[in-house]
Structure formats: C-alpha cells, structure tokens
Amino acid sequence: MNLARLNHILIPSTKEGRDRVRAGWAVRIFRPLTWFGEATTREGRFLTLLVMAIALASVDVQSTQVFLLWAALSGILLASLVGRHFFRLQQVKLRAQCPHRVTEGEALEIRLSVENNSDEPHQALRITGPFLPWDGAWVSPAPRIAELEAGATAERTTHARFIERGEHHLDVFSAACLVPFGLALGPSVESDGCRFTVLPRPIQVRSLALSQATLDAGAKLGAKASRGRGAGLELLGVRGYRAGDPVRDLHVRTWARTGKPHVREYQPTYEGRYLLLLDAAGARDEPAFEASIRLTAGICTLWTDQGQICDLAVSGEAAVVHGIGSYRESLTAALDRLARVAPNSLPIEEVLERIAALTSDEVEAIVVVTSSAERQRRISAMLRGLGHPSRTLCLVKRRVDPDPDQLLVSEVMDGREVAL
C-alpha cells in the first residue's frame, strides 16, 4: 500500500479535476479560510497562532498586562491585511515554463518569468508554487525578486522532483508584493499550469545474451547495410556541414535558403528487427510491475546504444512503437509509451495470441518482460515453439530457483547494473 498516495486520495490527480473541485460548493464554503492562507506569509501565519495563544493568556485583564501585547500584535496583523490592497501588481504578467519530459527522480527545472508592463517599479516580490501531487517535492526555495523595474523582466528558476512516471499537470504559480512588516502579501497574479511527462528511469543493462543465431543474423544485416548508399542507407535528414563531409552530400536548397552549407545525413537500413513485449499484468503500486517497466526501458536503451532496431509492444494496447533506434527521438517515443503504461488483467492466452500476431519473418529475436513467474513459464514454452531466439525475463521478489531469466525487484528498483 502506497501511504503517500493514500494521503492524497481526496485530491484529484489532474488539474481539470482539481479546478472542478475548487468551483464546487464545498470548497466555496471554506473560501474565507483559504483566503487567509493565501493572503498571509509564513511569518504572518505564525504570528496568528502566537496571537491566539496570547489571547488565552490575557483573558483576565485585571491581573495581567499581556492583553496590551495581544492588542499590538493584532493591530499589526490587521493593518497588514487591510493594507495589502495598496500593493497590487498592476500590468504584471507571470509565465511558467518547464521541459516536456523529465526522468523520475531527477529535478525538474521550472523557469519563471515576471514581466512588468507598467510605469511603476515593484519591490519585494515573492513567487509561490502550487501544491504538488503526492509524488512531488520542492528541492529549491521559493524564488524572490528584490526589485522589478518598470518595463523590465525578471527570470527565476525553481526545481521540483517527481517519483511517479506518467503525465503531470501542475496548478498555477502566483506572484505578489510583500506588504510592510512581512506578514501579508498583496493581490497576486497567476501563471498558467505546467504540463510534462515523467519518464521511467531505465536501469543499466550491460548486456543481454541471445543465441548465436541472432548474432550471426545481426552480422548479416550489418554487411547488408554497408553495401552501398542505394541499398543499405536511407535519408535521415539534413544537418549543418562538418569538416570532412563528402561534397556529393551537399544539400543545395538548404544552403541557398539559410546561407550556410548543409549536407544530407544517412542511416543504415535494416530488414530485420528485434521484438520487445511488456506483459503489463500487475498492480500500479506493485514494485514488480514498476520494475518490469524500468527493465523494459533499460533494454530499449541498450539496443539503441548498440544500433539494433527493435519494436516495442505492450500487452493490452494495440499500438506498437516501431523502429526504435532507427530515427532521432525514437528512444524518447518508447519511454513516452512506457510512462503511460497502465496495468491490466489480460488473460495469458490473449498475450500469447498477441505475440504470435507480432511475429513475422522480419523478427529475428523476441524478448518478453513480465512480473509473474507463472506467466513466464507459459510464455517461454510458447516462444520455444516459434523457433526464434528469445528470452522471457521475470521480476521476482526473491529467487526460489537459480533461473538466469529471473531478476530481483530490489536490484532493479535500486538502480543496479545488470547483465542478462
């Protein structure tokens, strides 16, 4: 059971859902309480608690003079709340931008830009971040701007870390002026929400052993790709000229349009490929299921580094990521797919049918990743019957037998390097 997720069970996971809750009558009833929290700083909220404690000690005004302290502190706090309307940010815009993708566990850099389009400068600006989902945590302090000149733009960065793969949509950031005494904030301006995808962290797979037949087939493909530009290479795109590039590869139209020499870039074409299938049976919070996704991502990374073309399929999903390793950003496309994988209860018979449907003459090796030992045995028996070089890798909590196709969940989740 994920206690951190359970702690946020009443909070919708999407920004659209949270916006609907804020617009509901239940939240509007408690709007005065939320307004006080948004209007005061951390120091102001601490002073409020102190004032409440002093109020209890100053009930008997005949035997103590503490009520004078209570009156003074209450007056300062009330004056700050009343005077906050004089510190409104006029013609100020706040923008928040972040990368479209980040690997789970790594810090996400959020760039904040505050633009002052008015003729008046603003001092002591504080930027407040949104309430993060259960898997997020701020790893840097809230940005502050000492002075924002008229017509100027100030840029700041903040960082947050997320540990759950998948799509994330943060709520808005807000910027406001600090009221004198530092107890309250003026009316704020808000940015748009930030949307990004947290990619699974691939484990370090040093090697993945397949049969000698597969290695021989790979050598044949390499020889075929090196025969010549007409049969073994395909056009990848156009890039800037580098010293040593052949003159015959110059792309005249791009050169004429940009004024800088460009050349055509080619890549080898392969008729054969590997097939990688993820058996998505399991539960979302189950460590073995998440470990199987990290292992699948690690295998994709390994094959891409080796120059091997592969296709990625997920049980229960009709779409297939084709040609991983054959074009730019192909690995990113595979990680995007793995980031959105949801567990399913697809019967093993349908998984076997899916493998058979994806198997063709172009497929030279098949690797299946699962988190069930029983399903591993069924899939292994089926792959042996197909006659293709194959491996069925299984994530287990503890090994009962010394099976080289079984990996410990703890090793994968700890990020250890593995050799398969």
Q: Flag whether pLDDT at 386 surpasses 70.
A: yes
Residue 22 confidence (pLDDT): 82
At 218 the pLDDT is 47
Q: Note whether 127 and 107 are within 8 A (CB).
A: no
CB neighbour burial string for 372-403, b if at least 16 within 10 angstroms, e if fewer: bbebbebbbebbeeeebbbbbbbbbeeeeeee
Residue type, 31: R
pTM metric for this prediction: 0.80
CATH class for the domain made up of 1-199? mainly beta
Confidence of residue 308 (pLDDT cuts 50, 70, 90): confident
- From the options 3.90.190, 3.40.50, 1.10.1060, 3.40.720, give the CATH code of 205-225+270-419: 3.40.50
The mean pLDDT value for 65-69 works out to 84
pLDDT of residue 282: 80
The reply to whether 1-199 and 205-225+270-419 are identical in fold is: no
- Main-chain phi, psi angles of 384, to 5 degrees: -65, -35
Mean pLDDT rounded to a whole number for the chain: 87
Q: Can you give the pLDDT at residue 17?
A: 86
Task: Give domain limits for the chain.
Answer: 1-199, 205-225+270-419, 236-268
Dump pLDDT digits (tens) for 1-54: 677 777 787 888 788 888 888 888 877 887 777 888 889 999 999 999 999 998
- What's the pLDDT score for residue 214? 46
**DSSP output for 330-389:** HHHHHHHHHHT---B---HHHHHHHHHHH--TTEEEEEEEES-HHHHHHHHHHHHHHTS-
- In terms of Cβ atoms closer than 10 Å to its own Cβ (0-12, 13-18, 19+), residue 45 is middle
User: 252-277 burial by CB neighbour count: b if 16+ within 10 A, else e?
Assistant: eebeeeeeeebbbbebbebebbbbbb
CA 367-360-297 angle, 5° bins: 30
Write out pLDDT tens, residues 95-106.
Answer: 999 999 999 999
- Residue 66 has what pLDDT? 83
- 228 falls in which pLDDT band (50, 70, 90)? very low
Provide the pLDDT confidence category of residue 230 given band limits of 50, 70 and 90. Answer: very low
Mean pLDDT of 151-157: 95
Which of residues 259 and 14 earns the better pLDDT score?
A: 259
Q: Give the percent of the chain with pLDDT over 90.
A: 54
pLDDT at 290 over 60: yes
